[in-house]
């Protein structure tokens, strides 16, 4: 089955039901969405994009609704979309925003309105099934890009097992997915919403709170960092959004101070979820129910297996800490063209998440730490090395160490310690980092005489975390 066929089925039975609510508030019906998807598929054929070929397409940012419709049209035509960070050697073409230059030596096409006004595809959809649907990028456990090839059948299994209230309601949900639509979880949310006849609401960072109210959103899918931004934009005495029934946060641990504020100001049903680009949703649960189990990130979803194992890959008894491995209905078999990483992360039918933790007798998944230190700012992950390389490119900085430090809500903020002979020019540093790191530019910058090292020559990150917590108001000591 092609992943767009359930959307077509809804369009056949409820063509006038709103499938999308655009940023300007205008609805797009299922009947019109089905037509637009077929137009995008026709445009792909017109441009000579062949089934099975890989095309880079960034959905998040810019016009997300256009990007989503084009991605679905390409899927209908059997063309595989990929995260733009994928090496160009895998690509047959790139879709770029109008006026942007594509990668050198690669055929590029503008992502513009022509995709929605061209010929309507008359051929049946590509069979899908075992054929690739999309290749997702993941930071993995090392911070280096890895690429997860997901077939139509695998994504269908993930949608069927989607662990959030969308799949558990007796009514058609109205969903705002404040995640950016490039990732695996956001894609599952979108497809589950549309396949079930629900409505997907588009918004932007400046109007999320207003969209929740005006569009009568029933389910908000978000990250801790975005949830924090919504709360900061919400007056303490503002009434709760009237239709909002649940908030599901993923990407990183949802800190207790943050979900308790959300319970008071937005809605009482706040849920945490845990998963990976390599898998279906692994675990989820109501934050209130998880609170008595320290470190719990959720309860294992139906059909999911998880174990803590020792260094020899032997399962440990419930409640015993070890390396976490999981098996879900939507697992991939390995990374794209990366046998070494695949052999490390995929063993004997299990995916090794790179987390240290335990599984309790009542199926609570507890995560104690990451096996490799990755800075995780509200679900956006970055290698400390990448941040340090950006800083070391600035004249005068001789050493740098990047790390994460929790703020007052427990959301990890990117922090850096730098060594420089003269006082640093903070505005220039901020501009440089923003240009190269975007939303993951450091919020906390410390200038130190030297970086603290232990006897083995390694930077003592915990010392820097505590220093940053003292220096920056609203942060707290802890392990990033």
Mean pLDDT by 10 residues, the chain (480 residues): 97 97 97 97 95 93 90 98 92 92 91 91 93 85 73 95 58 85 89 94 91 95 85 89 92 82 94 91 94 93 96 96 95 95 95 93 88 76 83 88 87 91 92 92 92 64 86 51
The CA-atom distances, in angstroms, between 21 and each of 9, 30, 108, 165, 216 are 20, 11, 29, 20, 11
Both 24 and 169 in a single domain?
Answer: yes
Contacts of 412 (CB under 8 A, 6+ apart): 252, 375, 376, 377, 378, 404, 405, 406, 480
Which of 298, 321, 356 is where one domain is finished?
Answer: 356
Nearest to 137, CA basis, from 351, 380, 318: 380
Question: Using an 8 Å Cβ cutoff, are 280 and 161 in contact?
Answer: yes
Both 54 and 85 in a single domain?
Answer: yes
pTM: 0.80
Identify whether 50 is part of a domain.
yes
CATH number for the domain that contains residue 340: 3.40.50.12780
Report strand pairing: 375-377 vs 397-406.
unpaired
Both 94 and 199 in a single domain?
Answer: yes
Give the DSSP H/E element, type plus range, for residue 419. Answer: strand 412-420
Both 32 and 93 in a single domain?
Answer: yes
pLDDT, residue 398, reads 81
Identify whether 362 is part of a domain.
no
Q: By residue range, what is the domain housing residue 412? A: 375-471
Structurally, the chain folds into a number of domains equal to 2
What is the torsion angle, in degrees rounded to the nearest 10, for the CA atoms of residue 362, residue 367, residue 371 and residue 374? 150
Q: Please report where in the chains the tokens 């939507």 appear, as a residue.
A: 330
Both 183 and 92 in a single domain?
Answer: yes
Question: Using an 8 Å Cβ cutoff, are 351 and 141 in contact?
Answer: no
Both 316 and 394 in a single domain?
Answer: no
Residue 94: HSE in the Cβ half-sphere, 13 Å Cα cutoff: 21
In whole angstroms, what is the distance from residue 134 CA to residue 184 CA? 9
Identify whether 480 is part of a domain.
no
Both 88 and 214 in a single domain?
Answer: yes
pLDDT, residue 180, reads 78
Backbone angles phi, psi at 352, to 5 degrees: -90, 115
Q: Which DSSP letter does residue 407 get?
A: B
CATH number for the domain that contains residue 405: 3.30.300.30
The CA-atom distances, in angstroms, between 439 and each of 76, 82, 83, 203, 407 are 33, 22, 18, 18, 16
């Amino acid at each position: 089955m092609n992943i767009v066929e359930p959307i077509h089925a809804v369009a056949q039975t409820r063509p006038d039901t709103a499938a999308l609510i655009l940023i300007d508030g205008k609805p797009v019906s299922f009947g019109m969405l089905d037509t637009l998807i077929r137009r995008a598929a026709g445009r792909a054929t017109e441009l000579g994009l062949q089934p099975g070929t890989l095309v880079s397409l960034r959905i998040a940012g810019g016009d997300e609704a256009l990007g989503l419709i084009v991605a679905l049209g390409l899927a209908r035509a059997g063309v595989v979309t990929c995260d733009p960070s994928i090496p160009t050697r895998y690509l047959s073409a790139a879709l770029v925003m109008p006026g942007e230059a594509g990668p050198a030596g690669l055929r590029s096409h503008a992502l513009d309105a022509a995709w929605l006004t061209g010929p309507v595809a008359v051929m049946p959809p590509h069979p899908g099934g075992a054929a690739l649907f999309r290749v997702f990028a993941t930071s993995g456990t090392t911070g280096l890009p890895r690429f997860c090839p997901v077939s139509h059948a695998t994504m269908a299994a993930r949608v069927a097992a989607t662990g959030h209230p969308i799949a558990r309601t007796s009514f058609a949900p109205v969903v705002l997915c404040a995640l950016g639509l490039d990732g695996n979880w956001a894609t599952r949310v979108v497809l589950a919403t549309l396949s079930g006849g629900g409505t997907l609401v588009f918004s932007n960072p400046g109007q999320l709170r207003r969209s929740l109210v005006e569009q009568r959103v029933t389910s908000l899918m978000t990250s801790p960092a975005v949830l924090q931004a919504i709360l900061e934009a919400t007056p303490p005495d503002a009434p709760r959004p009237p239709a909002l029934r649940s908030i599901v946060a993923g990407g990183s641990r949802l800190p207790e101070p943050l979900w308790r504020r959300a319970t008071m100001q937005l809605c009482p049903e706040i849920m945490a979820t845990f998963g990976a680009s390599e898998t279906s949703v692994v675990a989820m649960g109501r934050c209130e129910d998880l609170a008595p189990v320290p470190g719990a990130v959720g309860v294992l979803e139906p059909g999911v297996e998880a174990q803590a194992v020792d260094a020899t890959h032997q399962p440990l008894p419930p409640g015993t800490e070890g390396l976490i491995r999981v098996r879900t209905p939507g697992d991939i078999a390995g990374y794209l063209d990366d046998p070494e990483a695949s052999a490390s992360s995929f063993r004997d039918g299990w995916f090794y998440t790179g987390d240290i933790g335990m599984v309790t007798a009542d199926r609570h998944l507890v995560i104690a730490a990451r096996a490799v230190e990755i800075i995780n700012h509200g679900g956006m992950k970055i290698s400390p090395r990448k941040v340090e390389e950006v800083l070391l490119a600035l004249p005068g900085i001789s050493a740098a160490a990047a790390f994460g430090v929790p703020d007052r809500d427990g959301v990890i903020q990117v922090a850096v310690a730098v060594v420089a002979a003269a006082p640093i020019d903070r505005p220039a540093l901020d501009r440089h980092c923003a240009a190269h790191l975007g939303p993951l530019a450091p919020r906390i910058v410390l200038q130190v005489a030297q970086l603290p090292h232990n006897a083995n020559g390694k930077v003592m990150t915990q010392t820097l975390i505590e220093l940053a917590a003292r220096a920056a108001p609203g942060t707290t000591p802890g392990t990033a």
